[in-house]
Amino acid sequence: MRIGVQLQPQHFTEYQQLRDAVAKLEELGVDVVYNWDHFFPLSGDPDGTHLECWTMLAAWAEQTSRVEIGALVTCNSYRNPDLLADMARTVDHISNGRLILGIGSGWFQRDYDEYGYEFGTAGSRLDDLATALPRITERWAKLNPKPTRDIPILIGGGGEKKTLPLVAQYASVWHYFVDLETYRHKSAVLADACAKIGRDPKQIAHNVAIPRGSSVEEAIAFADVLVAEGATEFTAELAAPEFDYTVIEALLRWRDAQ
């Protein structure tokens, strides 16, 4: 059982606040610290403070010594897949093997419009992701030095025709926002996709987001229900300016009592 935290890279006063939060999360015993891959805030003031994903991950890799790090999730559209593979390999080395490559097809249109990327359609972006994933893994095999380990790939999403088959083929971790019934259904679809390619679905960890705004009691109740169904990692949010660790600390106590 693992507890992750998505530290939102938005609405801070100065970067030191985010750096201190990462240090605090590692000290508390969190298993993974994630950021996200966007160029503008996703909530609150749309023009508030915000920083880029991968340069931040490199800083976290140098700053920390135990906790795993990654994006929840990288947008495939923003970088050439071979370049992304090299970036991930580099952060993997800086962190001494603690990077998780979280990746998805992208969805936030403002990022695309303002930075000059073609938005396309949900289908075309998923097709691009399907093309990118083998390029990423092939590039890792060619790089010198190679990654320090088989870098775990986390894929976010629940689309049944394209996303979950990609999870079955490439992912070590599947991330999604679910309630109980949705989780049961999507897990069954993923298991079926694994069966079609001869993969054991138990090889894929299930990362579930703690519902935004949950109290301690609600978060623990949610985790109790989902872990009984097969979830193996829960990810809570941490946001400026409050940086409220209450739910995270409760989840860590819950994890340690399992």
Range 2-257 classified under CATH 3.30.70.980: no
**pTM value?**
0.95
pLDDT value of position 198: 97
- For 173-231, what is each residue's pLDDT tens digit? 999 998 999 999 999 999 999 999 999 999 999 999 999 999 999 999 999 999 999 99
Mean of pLDDT values over 238-251: 96
- 7 backbone dihedrals φ, ψ, rounded to 5°: -90, 110
Mean of pLDDT values over 59-64: 98
CB within 8 A of 155, min separation 6: which ones?
73, 102, 103, 104, 163, 166, 167, 170, 171, 173, 174, 175
Q: Are 154 and 176 in contact (CB under 8 A)?
A: no
| Residue 34: both structure tokens together | 């994630």
Return the percentage of the chain with pLDDT > 90, whole number. Answer: 98
pLDDT value of position 216: 98
- For 64-118, what is each residue's pLDDT tens digit? 999 999 999 999 999 999 999 999 999 999 999 999 999 999 999 999 999 999 9
- For 156-171, what is each residue's pLDDT tens digit? 999 999 999 999 999 9
Return the percentage of the chain with pLDDT > 70, whole number. Answer: 100
Q: Are 226 and 234 in contact (CB under 8 A)?
A: yes
The secondary structure of the chain as a DSSP string is: -EEEEEE--BS-SSHHHHHHHHHHHHHHT-SEEEE---SS-SSS-TTS-B--HHHHHHHHHHH-SSSEEEES-EEGGGS-HHHHHHHHHHHHHHTTS-EEEEEE----HHHHHHHT-----HHHHHHHHHHHHHHHHHHHHH-SSPPSS---EEEE---TTTHHHHHHHH-SEEEE---HHHHHHHHHHHHHHHHHHT--GGGSEEEEEPPTT--HHHHHHHHHHHHHHT--EEEEEE-TTT---HHHHHHHHHHHH-
Q: Taking the C-alpha atoms of 86, 155, 15 and 48 in order, what is their torsion angle to the nearest 10 degrees? A: 120
- For 133-147, what is each residue's pLDDT tens digit? 999 999 999 999 999
Mean of pLDDT values over 27-31: 98
pLDDT value of position 85: 98
Mean of pLDDT values over 12-29: 98
